[in-house]
Structure 1
Amino acid sequence: MVKRLDEMPEVEANHLRRIECPTYDDTPLLPGKPLAERRVAIISTAGLHRRGDRPFRPGDGSYRVIPEQTPANELVMSHISVNFDRTGFQQDLNVAFPIDRLRELVADDTVGSMASVHYSFMGAFPPEAAQPHAKHLAGLLKADKVDAALLVPV
């Protein structure tokens, strides 16, 4: 797995160098309640959605809703990059969407509860394309009383 720009092919490295990223003055650290008392949602960037839902398109910053009880065989991946390796997802959904692992953590009381709905974005989109969707999603998470998110960058 390539991790550093100087190890990437020049075309890919140049593409990543051109992406504008926000800067922040500080990173506040806030204390929180124990994980065993938290309600957790999964947010993946694997481009997952239920069969029949609108597939992702290039530059799409929106998300798709995945209800907690969605069967694994009802999830499809419409991530667009030709370089995106789907092998792990095809062998085990939990690689891109660790729903079974989260269920296990809830069952053994490591995590307080699981959100009723989870979400997936498609990675490789301009950050500004996701901003309005992320703000809307924050309201949905709050309404579901989610106070922790398992972010799964794929």
Structure 2
Amino acid sequence: MVKRLSDMPEAEANHLRRLECPTYDDTPALGGKPLAERRVAIISTAGLHKRGDRPFRPGDGSYRVIPAETAANELVMSHISVNFDRTGFQQDLNVVFPIDRLRELVGDGTVGSMASVHYSFMGAFPPAAAEPHARHLAGLLKADKVDAALLVPV
């Protein structure tokens, strides 16, 4: 595993050095009701989608919809990065999309309820490419009465 730019091939290291790395202001945590009263949606950056849905492409900042009842064998990963290790996903979907763990938390009352729909982005994109999609997604989450999101950066 490459851990330093100095260990990478020069062309790849130079490409990474040129990438824009935006900074963001700190946002304080918001208060709210207990987790046992919240409706939770999963938002992953694993590039997941249902079999037959449009795959992710380089620079794609859009998301794919994953209905809560979707079976693990109906999901595929079209994450673009050639360096991305899919082994965990192939062995257990919950590594990148912890739907079974969320179901368990709802079942034992730790979480109030689960959203009817969850979402996946493909993490290898410029942040600005996702902004209009994220704004649209916020409206969908509100419409589903989601008041907490489990963000799964992959």
TM-score, length-normalised on structure 1? 0.90
- Structure 1 8/95 Cα, relative in aligned 2: closer, same or farther at 3 Å? farther
Report the CA distance between 1:20 and its aligned residue: 2.8
Matched AA of 2:76: V
Partner of 2:138, secondary structure, is helix
* Number of equivalent positions: 153
Partner residue in 2 for 1:122: 122
Paired with 1:127 and 1:32, the residues of 2 have a C-alpha distance of 28
Matched AA of 1:61: G
Which residues in structure 2 correspond to 1:50-65 (within 5 Å)? 50-65=50-65
Partner residue in 1 for 2:131: 131
Partner residue in 2 for 1:71: 71
Report the CA distance between 1:8 and its aligned residue: 6.0
Any conservation in 1 of the 2:45–2:120 contact (CA below 8 Å)? yes
Report the CA distance between 1:28 and its aligned residue: 2.3
- Structure 1 6/101 Cα, relative in aligned 2: closer, same or farther at 3 Å? same
- Structure 1 83/30 Cα, relative in aligned 2: closer, same or farther at 3 Å? same
Matched AA of 1:68: A
Paired with 1:145 and 1:7, the residues of 2 have a C-alpha distance of 47
Gap regions ≥5 residues in structure 2: none
Which residues in structure 2 correspond to 1:33-52 (within 5 Å)? 33-52=33-52
Matched AA of 1:73: N
1:102 matches 2:98: no
Identity across aligned pairs (percent)? 87
Matched AA of 1:44: S
Partner residue in 1 for 2:140: 140
Residue deviations 1:47-101 (CA, integer Å, cap 9, x gap): 0000000000000000000000001100000111111111110000000100000
Report the CA distance between 1:122 and its aligned residue: 0.3
Q: CA RMSD in A?
A: 1.9
Paired with 1:86 and 1:27, the residues of 2 have a C-alpha distance of 32
- Structure 1 81/6 Cα, relative in aligned 2: closer, same or farther at 3 Å? closer
- Structure 1 16/111 Cα, relative in aligned 2: closer, same or farther at 3 Å? farther
Matched AA of 1:150: L
